Structure 1
Amino acid sequence: MTAGIGAHPLISFDVGSETIRIRDELEQQDLTLRTTAPDELDPQPALTDLFVFPVDNAITVTVSKLRVETPIGTAVWNGDGDHLGEFTTTPWELPDGTYFVNMQSTVNGYLRIDDASFTGVHRRSGTRTQNSPLELTFAEPTSVTIGGRSFHTRPQTTITVPDDPQAILEALAYLGSSIKEYSCERSWPTLRGHPPAIERGDRLEIPAELSRPKTGVTISVPATYADVYRVAPLVFYLGADVEVGDRPELRLEDGYGYVQPLRTESRSLEETVDELLETCLVLDSLTRVDGYLSGPRHEYDELAPHLPFYPPNLYGEPLSAQLLEYLEVSPSLLEPYVPRWPMTAVFQPRPDDVELLPSVLNVLSKVHVDDGSRGAMESTVSGSLATTTTETVPETMRDGEPALESLEHAPQSSSPILTCYTDAQPPAGAGCLLSEGFEHALSHSLPEVSDARIAYVTDVPDRADRVRTAIDDVAPTHRLESDGITIVDRPSKRDLERTLESDVDVLYCDLPVSNDGIECPDGPLDPDGVDDVGVKTFVVYGPASLAAGRELIRRGAFAGLVLENTVSPVQVVRLTKTLLQGHPLADGVRLTGIDERSTVRFVGNPAHPVVRRDGAAIPQRIDVVSASTDEHDLFLYCQLTDIHQVGSVSRFIGDRSSDAYQLNGTTVRQSRRLSTAEVVSLLEDDDHVSRVNGQPYYGERDPEAFVRKSVRRTLTDVQ
């Protein structure tokens, strides 16, 4: 085997007699290509500029046939970068020309095919087309350039900073070095790599391989911890240069010295940064519509006629020129189309929090600073969490139809789903961010849904039976019939310790947590005594549950829900099912309506999902709103997670849906109304969370009766 062709710290290639392995060195993942003409390969290093997409490394080989093993998705572009479509199980013959092929799997691979004709087809694997091998057959031996781009979900290197806000400000300018391309395409999460890690030290040390992006944008800000943290998301996303200034400003190299104040008498720095971040993300996603990935977009059709510019005309323009146009757009025009941001991180104005900054920027979280007015912030956070189960359909989604204020339906709102604090004692309804939660999430490989391991632990008489009954009451699905479900009844301290150390993806512990530890029948187990927690996500309750939860995160878990009071077995099972549909812990709590009297807090990294869905499908929520006894509107919400980040798009596949893609994190009304029979069919599909007229469907045995009862109640209420 010839190893290390065109060596690169992110992507390498191993070429053997019959295989070409693209290796993502940062992620430790491979994508294998096979050929039936081994003596033709002759691998040579190649220029990455040969691709219209950013790639980290490339080689050229000569082949007559290539077989790409287990790609999640494939797509084709012509030599001008115009998206042509995707390969299917029907052979697709492409005439002589230059083409680019994306092979997305555990590694992001690309092919450049020059002046050649070929046929591409997915070979069906059994009855499944998903992840089926892709075969490319060429008319004659052809020179093919193979490129790879790391998914870059973890830091490549580390910046050291002293306890000095001015040094942190200088380090900020290098965090954007992980973004692969500073065009509107950076709104795609796959082009925003994880920023370099930051550690505290005695002096500023920036690794030589990092460089400051040059985008023509400069942000100046006072050298205080509070203001430096507040501007960090905008600095990262825009690749801005940074400097110390008396007041926060954004400046553009546009030839006229344009200056945009970032703090005014009527707008705080946090409000302005949040608004600019939302504006840039949404408008970048519209400007890229004729870029790497084309296709109909809901937001484009709705917004483009009302913009003061034609978005495709900005493609390829310098960032400063794009921003000049973006800043002319009223935020109120964009507001209905802004994704619901998954998280706002609330920092303390102190040097300790700087090490968390790259993790929250990686998911493009907003960053606020606790200025001491905790009382007002606490009531806002807990109130917003409590009202998420009684949300209403906004007027803009109803085309003038009467508002049904009693419906539980997510508003088109950019308000964050969850607010997380770096403080050890977050307010009720909020989260407590821990760096170990992000680190452990990166070290765990998410299981497929069918492989997830679930454990329920209880010592309450009959509660184990009630959990079993709750599982049986949910319509049979592969998610809750898994052999991985374990119920541990009346465990000893040693039994609980073994459970905590085992490879469990979701643990619900019904044993109360006191200051002495988790109360087992034979005495309390102190989480400090568990050397290596194998549980990934957990739910615990009791007066000392937050302290115990923090300790479980430090010792191996990545996310936890801590409750002041226990919840019913039915809610436990519903939450578990939602997690196994791909929703993160915080969203699972919101969607299943955990009793607000059982005060909730989150610890670790609550935006990280528990399972990996087939084909990297995004978690979805389906809302059905009845217009008549046999006509129903369908709304689709695509859930943001730290895997499916802001800027990504999805669509609901099927004849019930619109052909247009939508930004994940938004709610979109689909193109046609459904019959009652079609709604019942939707409910029988367990691949998403469903609600009918605001009533969650958890798998009741008779979905048709559920729908008809909901319709009768809703239409009677309207009349």
Structure 2
Amino acid sequence: MFLFPVEVAYELVPLVLWTGKLHPVAVRDSDGSIVAEIKDDESDFLPAGRYTIDIMSIEMKVYLLVDGPVAIRSESDRGRIIDCSAAKTVQLGLRSFHELPTATVTTTDRPYDVMRAFSCLGSALKTTSCERSFPTLRGHPPLFERGSRFQAPANLERTEETASIRIEVPPTLESIYPIAPLAYYLNAVVRPGDTPRIVTTDTTYPLDRGDGLETGAARLLKRTFTLDCITRTEGFYPFPLGERVTLEQRLLDAGIEVDFSALYEQTLVERVNEYISIPFGLLEDLVPRWPLTADVRPLGKHIPFLPFVVQSLGTVRCLPLSCQRLTSPVSPAIEEFCRQTPNRDESSIQNEEDESAVERGFPRSSEDADIPTDIYTPPETDSVTQLWLADGYPLQGAKPTIDALKRRFETATVDEYEVAVVSNDTAMRAESDVTDLYGQREQISFDVTMYEELARSELRDVFTKSYDLVHYIGHVDVEGLLCSDGWLDAHTLEWVATRMFVLNGCRSYVQGRALVDAGANGGMCTLSNVANTAATRIGRTVARLLNAGFTLGGVLELINEASLIGQQYMIVGDPSTAVVWNPQDSPRLVDLTSTSDADTFTADLQTYAANQSRIGSLYLPSVVDNDMYYISSSNITEFTVSESTAIEFLQEDRFPVRIDGSLEWDDSVEL
């Protein structure tokens, strides 16, 4: 019997297995205690016994259940070698990272039926222990469909008899939507009530005190999740955790006693009650960077989107039924420039003194820049990605479609990533060097094809091929994408096989939406005119970030922070789409700040959630020489490192670096 849930299991003959890479390995005895940890080029031998071998940082959860002696070593050509040839029995257990929903719930738009649908969300959890904070133990919640009556498979719906926690909210969609991720994570039943609150056998806890229901529900979710990550170190994964060390010191200073060992053994209700008693201020800055916030118009048509928000543990905020449109999508200086005809001498632009002048150049459109009327400014959020579930398009956000979100279930593992770069305007050829930026990763294979000045039929053919990414450089207009013989309107494409795209031209979001409607998962688009010089620089940055494993959501956040013009970009489709999937590492940003000592830097790390490293995973930073782990997506702050250590760290892989606030790349940094 495996210690952890597996989806499939196989009986193997005793064998020698190798992984091809130096994957970390944890070995547990029959009680679940770790008896060996092997990483890098380490080796170990375990005498005859019954062991569970966890092979980590691979494209799925892989467990070997071995009865007998085990020898583990490393070789440069075969990676990690696990020799079970002398064992009596060997079993292989697998659990996928790519969770698929196992059921569909049909609901009407009536609030009580929606509450019943939300009461089915927790059925996807593989455990209610604090280990459910690991992403592989949080299954994808059931999908929602709208219908004329409520229908759910047997035993899916939580009831007062089967759930230990009840969430009560007023029976309106505006009150129900924000508690979706909390209902999922707490495995709760949802019922109508006069005031929003959590109800257990012994206690009640209001959700709307202070800043209201949305903030209260999000705070309880983040509190419970973070404390679960800390408490689980008492169980199967007793790794040293930076957040626990910090919290324990703060609790000691505050005179608060928390027994994490006892907490680990408690029931879900008992743990939640204990968590609520810990002041949130002591752990607020230890909460990982939240991956997603969804701004939702509380209408029935948005119900099917909510399981996808929940799967990311995203928080939900309800928009008013009428929302003010954006009156100006760009700064006044850029807006004034973009309204001018594109025959202005670019050299004269570069000599202007205002900040926006350096962002200027010829607009990538032949049309005048009338301000679109369907762009909205979402409320501010500190999450990485902002989802817009309402009419129109969000500034600096993501506009998904249900079909695009469902296409994530079709993603398959590939041996080589295929990228097409299309340069359809000679004046923009400077951006064509992105062909050299894709594929600059060791152990990840790319096939990059460059196309120039394609005709409409040729560009149509490109989009019908199964590229992982098409990066289009050229003019975009109300008529379509510029080709050598006219304009290709993406609305005329019956089918798009390209998984992901970058349309780096003016106001490309309408054409991008057409590509998603025709079959793409998602892509990066613009909401206004973008000047050629700035768009070229952003195009290169986007290419580097995608090459480094960032999702579209992570890319958008970083270009928004790095550039004024970057704030005019948005995502159409699924923001979790990424070109590459590297199971051995998380996408990361490193901030290096000079200190008064010329030979040292302060290093801050921010890891980003991706398919293989969703929130709740563990991250072991190599910038310092210790064994302290951190929760993925956390801000891992204030390591003081020498210049030589910083240089060695920057040479590990391709990732973005901010040095004294300026975004650079590790392969071009000079300290």
Whether the 8 Å contact between 1:217 and 1:241 is mirrored in structure 2 is yes
Match of 1:660 among 625, 628, 640: 628
Shift of 1:287: 0.5
Q: Is the 8 A contact 1:117 1:138 kept in 2?
A: yes
Name the counterpart of 1:181.
Answer: 127
Deviation at 1:208, TM superposition (A): 2.7
State whether structure 2 residue 410 is matched by structure 1 residue 443: yes
DSSP-derived class of the 1:315 partner = helix
1:29 is aligned to none
SS of structure 2 residue aligned to 1:138: coil
The 1:381–1:337 alpha-carbon spacing in structure 2 relative to 1, beyond 3 Å, is: farther
| Pick aligned residue for 1:164 from 110, 117, 124 | 110
Give the residue type in structure 2 aligned to 1:340: R
- The change in CA–CA distance for 1:99 and 1:416 in structure 2 (over 3 A counts) is same
1:669 aligned residue: 637
Say if 2:658 is the partner of 1:691.
yes
Cα distance between partner residues in 1 of 2:7 and 2:431: 50
Matches of 2:264 and 2:414 in 1, distance apart? 39
- Shift of the 225–232 alpha-carbon distance from structure 1 to 2, 3 Å rule, reads same
1:204 paired to 2:204: no
Q: Kindly tell me: are residues 482 and 119 of structure 1, through their superposed partners in 2, closer, same or farther at Cα, counting changes over 3 Å? A: closer
Match of 2:243 in 1: 299
Contact map agreement 1:650 1:662 (CA 8 A) in 2: yes
- 1-side partners of 2:464 and 2:619: how far apart? 37
Residue identity in the other structure for 1:495? E
Query: Which residue among 579, 597, 609 is the counterpart of 2:578?
Result: 609
Q: Which residue does 1:235 correspond to in 2?
A: 183
**Does the alignment pair 1:249 with 2:214?**
no
Letter in 1 for 2:495: D
CA positional deviation for 1:538 = 1.6
Say whether 1:262 aligns with 2:207. Answer: yes
Q: Which position in structure 1 is the counterpart of 2:525?
A: 562
Question: Hey, what's the Cα distance between the residues in 2 that align with 1:598 and 1:663?
Answer: 29
Is contact 1:74-1:102 (8 Å) kept? yes
Deviation sequence 1:497-531 (CA, Å, 0-9, x none)? 11211222232323333333223232222212212
Once the two structures are overlaid, the 10-residue window that deviates more, 427-436 or 439-448, is 439-448
CA distance in 1, matches of 2:433, 2:199: 62
Code of the residue aligned with 1:416 in structure 2: it is: S
Q: Displacement of 1:571 after TM fit?
A: 2.5
- 1:497 counterpart (443, 460, 484): 460
Hey, what does 1:452 align to over in structure 2? 417
670 and 215 in structure 1: CA distance in 2 versus 1, 3 angstrom threshold: farther
Distance 1:62 1:506 in 2: 39
Deviations 1:262-285 (A, max 9, x none): 123x32110001100110111000
Name the counterpart of 2:367. none
Aligned equivalent of 2:305, options 333, 356, 362: 356
Whether the 8 Å CA contact 1:335–1:414 is kept in 2: the answer is no
Q: 1:574 aligns with which of 531, 536, 541?
A: 541
Answer yes or no: is the 8 Å Cα contact 2:141–2:311 preserved in 1.
yes
- C-alpha change, 1:467 and 1:267, in structure 2 (3 Å) is closer
Distance in 2 of aligned mates of 1:585 and 1:519? 24
Q: Report percent identity of matched pairs.
A: 26
When normalised by structure 2's length, the TM-score is 0.83
**Aligned-pair CA distance for 1:598:** 6.2
Cα offset, 1:367, TM superposition:
1.2
**What is residue 549 of structure 1 aligned with on the other side?**
512
Answer yes or no: is the 8 Å Cα contact 1:455–1:487 preserved in 2. Answer: yes
2:590 to 600, 604, 622: 622
Does the 8 Å CA contact 1:420/1:426 hold for their aligned counterparts?
Answer: no
Give the SS at the match of 1:263: coil
Contact kept in structure 1, 2:68 and 2:84, CA below 8 Å: no
Q: Structure 1 residues 633, 187: CA separation in 2 closer, same or farther (over 3 Å shift)?
A: same
> What number of residue pairs does the alignment pair up?
607
> Does the residue aligned with 1:673 lie in a helix, a strand or coil?
strand
User: Residue 501 of structure 2: SS of its match in structure 1?
Assistant: strand
Deviates more, 1:318-327 or 1:475-484: 475-484
Does the Cα contact within 8 Å between 1:683 and 1:697 map onto a contact in 2?
A: no
**Secondary structure of residue in 1 paired with 2:509:** helix
Equivalence for 2:63: 110
1:480, 1:66 → 2: CA distance? 23
Tell me the residue number matched to 2:282: 333
Instruction: Say whether 1:635 aligns with 2:584.
Output: no
1:485 aligns to 2:435 (yes or no): no
CA distance in 2, matches of 1:488, 1:629: 47
- Identify if the C-alpha distance between structure 1 residues 379 and 135 changes in structure 2 by more than 3 Å, giving closer, same or farther: farther
Residue pair 2:119, 2:190 contacting (<8 A) in 1 also = yes
Residue identity opposite 2:580 in structure 1: V
User: SS state of the match for residue 590, structure 2?
Assistant: strand
Would you say the 8 A contact 1:446–1:611 is kept in 2?
no
**Could you tell me how far apart the structure 2 residues matched to 1:149 and 1:475 are?**
31
Name the structure 1 match of 2:617: 648
Which digits, 9 at most, give the CA deviation of each residue in 1:34-53, with x for residues without a partner? Answer: xxxxxxxxxxxxxxxx4432
Residue 148 of structure 1 deviates from its aligned partner by 4.0
What residue in structure 2 maps to residue 32 of structure 1?
A: none
Q: 1:240 to 1:344 in 2, by over 3 A?
A: same
Give the Cα–Cα distance (whole angstroms) in 2 for the partners of residues 463 and 380 of structure 1: 26
- Structure 2 CA distance for partners of 1:380 and 1:148, relative to 1, 3 Å: farther
Distance between the aligned counterparts of 1:513 and 1:679, measured in 2? 42
Q: Deviations over 1:217-263 (max 9, x none)?
A: 1101122222221111100001011212122110112xx3x111112
Q: Secondary structure at the match of 2:265?
A: coil
Larger CA deviation: 414-423 vs 495-504: 414-423
Q: What is the rounded CA distance, in whole Å, between the counterparts of 1:469 and 1:185 in structure 2?
A: 45
Q: Distance in 2 between matches of 1:359 and 1:87?
A: 36
Distance (Å, rounded) in 1 between the aligned partners of 2:484 and 2:115? 53
- Residues 636-657 of structure 1 deviation map (CA, whole Å, 9 limit, x = unaligned): 2111124421111201236x34
Aligned to 2:594, what secondary structure does the other structure show?
strand
**In 2 relative to 1, CA 180–382 (structure 1 residues): closer, same or farther, beyond 3 Å?**
farther
Contact 1:506 1:537 in 2 (8 A): yes
Q: 1:379 to 1:591 in 2, by over 3 A?
A: farther
> What amino acid maps onto 2:482 in structure 1?
E
Q: State the alpha-carbon separation in 2 of the partners of residues 681 and 99 from structure 1.
A: 36
Structure 1 residues 686, 96: closer, same or farther in 2, change over 3 A?
Answer: closer
Tell me if structure 1 keeps the 8 A contact 2:607–2:632. Answer: yes
Is 1:101 equivalent to 2:53 in the alignment?
Answer: yes
Match for 2:53: what amino acid?
V
Structure 1 residues 242 and 476, CA gap change in structure 2 (3 angstroms): closer
Shift of 1:299: 0.3
Query: For residues 439 and 578 of structure 2, what CA distance do their matches in structure 1 show?
Result: 23
C-alpha separation between the residues in 1 aligned to 2:12 and 2:635? 47
User: What is the alpha-carbon distance in structure 2 between the residues aligned to residue 62 and residue 497 of structure 1?
Assistant: 48
User: In structure 2, what residue type is equivalent to 1:616?
Assistant: Q
Conservation of the 8 A alpha-carbon contact between 1:215 and 1:319: no
Aligned-partner residue type, residue 292 of structure 1: F
Give the aligned residue type for 1:94.
L
- Which stretch shows the higher mean deviation, 586-595 or 556-565? 586-595
Which of 571, 579, 585 in structure 1 is aligned with 2:552?
Answer: 585
Q: SS of the residue aligned with 1:296?
A: coil
Deviation at 1:541, TM superposition (A): 5.2
- Alpha-carbon deviation of 1:552? 1.1
Q: Distance in 2 between matches of 1:475 and 1:541?
A: 16
AA aligned to 2:169 is V
Query: Normalization by structure 1: what TM-score?
Result: 0.77
